[in-house]
Chain A
Amino acid sequence: MDILTRRKFLIASGVVGAGALAAGAAAYTLTDLLATGNEQGPGGRTLVLVTLYGGNDGLNTVVPYADPAYHDARPEIAYSAEEVKRLDDSVGLNPAMGGLHGLFGQGRLAIVRGVGYPKPDRSHFRSMDIWQTASPDRPGNTGWIGRWLDGAGGDPRLAVSFESALPPLLAGVHGAGASVPVAGRAMRGGLPDRTLAAFAADSPDESPAQARAAACFADLRSVDQMIAQVRDAAEEPVDGTDPERPAATSTGGARTSLEAQLDLVAQCVEARVATRVFSVSLGGFDSHADEKQLQAVLLGQVDRALSGFAARMSRTEAGREVVVAVYSEFGRRVRANASEGTDHGTASNVFLLGAGVRGGLYGEQPSLTDLDDGDLKFTVDFRDVYATLLDRVLGADPGQVLADWPGRRDDLFDRV
């Protein structure tokens, strides 16, 4: 992107940092300033959240290969010490995760083990809600990123999902992030822009649902402008069509490939769009039978997508300010079922990589013998990780988003 385009783009997208002010760029409003000004904290970074829908089996992802209890509990689906990509002399990564294993070796991948929360819920939906709302105690209807967005001014461009349905993660009290389809740019059919603009106007006499439907027109126009500029700037447009559609999934997750989603994230980051949080996902981890091979295929997709993304991000200044966090709603039961699968379980791993992330193993590996009715006991509360991400990546006060949750895992990041 040449400088002129960049300048125009920054103005259009409402990014108005100190540099733009000094350069005399004038086409922004007070609202723009408020919307983007208060979250330029010490770590003005971008967060990419990767959701693995369906309950990824954590024990076959970060494999406790040296623990005899692991092999006893799931003889048919266990990985041997020879198969795993060793991380140390007790755990190793799934054989399909060669790329991430390399990043771990370079000190760039942090793996937090035993992540969960008290009184775990084994329902996919309730559990995913808990992770996305960060509210284990009672059902919430706002996501933790949505609440961050409320505090950051509510511009939907700040938090973008490449899923076509909006994940609860991005729903705030006052508004919500934007969902942008990976394939193609905005299509408005034969309707002129003035019709769209007219639909975007408020009307005093309508229901909240109708008001939301009208607001979609405004969101679409602003997001469309942002994405259109990213695509215009890209040398090669993204082809959003995915040649190999992921396997059937009964528990949600995006249907376009993780690689295609991360490719668009990379383009947006490189164009320095206003977006501070990207939400991408991969579904299909809901395997209850013949699990080993399917999980390896999916983890291979995750591995390829993430290591490619990490390599691309390391090549630009903007990319080096990106942090990726990978999670799933829960892990699986320690013991396998009769159909060479596992049932819903509890604690699992969170992966972090990117700007300032200090590689290594964190959290205690949960015991495979001291169990809670057959399930792992968590050792790290996921809200500790969120609080750290809010603070160190988004430069925001975690207290307002996480109901004054006191925990932190500051050791995950380099000192400022």
Chain B
Amino acid sequence: MASPDAIAHLLRRATFGPTADEVDAAVRAGFDATLDRLLEPVGTDPGASASPTPKLGPDPYSTIGKSASREQRQEANKRRTEQVRQLQQWWLERMVTAEHQLTEKLVFFWHGHWATSVQKVKSAPLMLGQLDTLRRYGRGGFDALVAAMVRDPAMILWLDGEKNTRKAPNENLARELMELFTLGIGHYTEPDVKAGAKALTGWAVDRATGVARLEPKRHDTDPKTILGRTDTFDADSYARLLAAQPQAAEFVRNRLWARFAGTDTPPTGGSGSVGAGPDITAMLRAVLTDPAFARSRGQLVKQPVEWAVGAMRQLGIRPSALSEQQRKQVQSGLSGMDQVLLRPPSVGGWPAGTAWLTTSSLQARMRLADLLATAAGPVAGQRLGAAPEAGRVDALARLLVVDRWTERTRAALAPLAAKPDRLIAAGLVSPEYTVS
């Protein structure tokens, strides 16, 4: 029989941040039923339906011709920037409102994994398309996900795939595909990169329609040797070859482990101990039920987006209900903590672990905590305010689903008990809340 603490731990990791009511309901349902509901939710998600995918319309640049004037281009740029902002705000809203939380968290996980930035892709519709791909393929077989991603228009633009031709291959996508997305360093060679690049030659992206298509004349149809196999590889067969490598399963399992369990190394006992086979949901189930997962409490540094979304869920804040000014502050707060949705810092994705714990990110976190505490919904305020002053520090722990405060933090929080908004802001930046 799993303890309430174990269930709270599961929810903290498998969602963006559970509310106290959600923890209560999960404790009543039990660990296994909660896990099943997280991994394979049934029915429609009313929270997701309440934050429908935005209708962005076409890329503003695709509607102006090559001979467009400077003013037209500036106008297109402005509208493009606006589309990106709209997409970022929608995604944040979706993360907060979705009830199928693990579904959303997996999309965010894969976004950090495939780490595509709109800064280079320069198209909100293509980024939205990639998010759809991650949502559709992100919880099934890994082979289908890899095959979908090498043909994803945003991915192709991000890693110069459209510059990759038979005559002089561009190796960027093939290299990062093996190094960062499927196998990891040490499991392929430089000749594999060169041959992989040839397999991916010929893809082009039509920005007007947002579709990637193969231009047969630019595709290299010669036999290529990749990872010891010789064949006339194309994007699909190359993707299948990568996903079928034993290292691919181990690689993805390790990434899932790092992001959901947070300790440096997956538990020992062979790679099979954290699940087997390249099915993502099965691998994730193995991670979340591993005995070492239960012991990983207090070891995972929350990513800034996880921290902010979790806080908004617990404090009853809907991003869309914030004022324009406050939404900007949320955006600049995330930027100050170095995590802006759709803008990973590099194709390697965001840093992890204590890399988030810097003096400068702490400053940004304190500013954003202030805003969130001020914007907290009436329920949060009532719950704290209803408690007598002496009990407010404990009421805060319940509100933020923190198992227990250390004596250090209790001493820091106690003097703020008379001012609930200060108390909430301090709780949000406390070490116990920063780390999950």
Interface residues, chain A, with chain B CB atoms under 8 Å away: 53, 121-126, 156, 164-166, 178-181, 186-191, 194-195, 198-199, 201-203, 205-217, 219-220, 223-224, 248-252, 288-289, 336-339, 341, 343-344, 373
Which residue of the partner chain, among B193, B347, B407, B435, contacts A213 with CB atoms under 8 Å? B435
A199 touches B180 (CB 8 A): no
The 8 closest A-B pairs by CB, nearest first: A338-B168, A198-B412, A248-B119, A189-B370, A339-B163, A213-B431, A203-B408, A207-B298
Q: Which of chain A's residues have a CB closer than 8 A to the CB of B170?
A: 288-289, 337-339, 341, 343
| B350 closest partner in A (C-beta) | A165
User: Cβ of B346 < 8 Å from any Cβ of A?
Assistant: yes
B425 touches A191 (CB 8 A): yes
If the complex has contacts A165-B351, A338-B163, are A252 and B346 also in contact, measured as CB distance less than 8 A?
yes
User: Cβ of B345 < 8 Å from any Cβ of A?
Assistant: yes
A203 touches B338 (CB 8 A): no
19 A-B contact pairs sorted by A residue (CB < 8 Å)? A121-B185, A122-B193, A164-B361, A165-B356, A187-B366, A187-B367, A189-B366, A189-B370, A190-B422, A198-B411, A201-B408, A203-B407, A206-B432, A209-B353, A213-B435, A216-B357, A216-B362, A289-B170, A338-B167
Known contacts A165-B351, A250-B159, A339-B160, then 13 further A-B pairs from the complex at CB < 8 Å, ordered by chain A residue: A124-B346, A124-B347, A125-B348, A179-B361, A187-B367, A191-B366, A191-B422, A195-B416, A198-B411, A201-B408, A206-B432, A211-B431, A339-B168
Q: Which of chain B's residues have a CB closer than 8 A to the CB of A195?
A: 412, 415-416, 426
A212 touches B366 (CB 8 A): no
Q: Which of chain A's residues have a CB closer than 8 A to the CB of B338?
A: 164-165
Q: Which of chain B's residues have a CB closer than 8 A to the CB of A188?
A: 363, 366
A252 touches B360 (CB 8 A): no
Q: Compute how far the CA of A224 lies from the CA of B362 in the bound complex, rounded to whole angstroms.
A: 12
B168 touches A210 (CB 8 A): no
B175 touches A180 (CB 8 A): no
Q: Compute how far the CA of A219 lies from the CA of B367 in the bound complex, rounded to whole angstroms.
A: 17
Q: Which of chain A's residues have a CB closer than 8 A to the CB of B426?
A: 191, 195, 199
B346 touches A250 (CB 8 A): yes
B363 touches A181 (CB 8 A): yes
What are the interface flags for B137-165 relative to A under an 8 Å C-beta threshold, 1 for contact and 0 otherwise?
A: 00000000000000000000011100101
Majority SS at the chain B contact face:
helix
Q: Compute how far the CA of A154 lies from the CA of B337 in the bound complex, rounded to whole angstroms.
A: 24
Majority SS at the chain A contact face:
loop
B299 touches A207 (CB 8 A): yes
A89 to chain B, nearest CB (A): 32
B323 to chain A, nearest CB (A): 18
User: Cβ of B369 < 8 Å from any Cβ of A?
Assistant: yes
User: Cβ of B49 < 8 Å from any Cβ of A?
Assistant: no
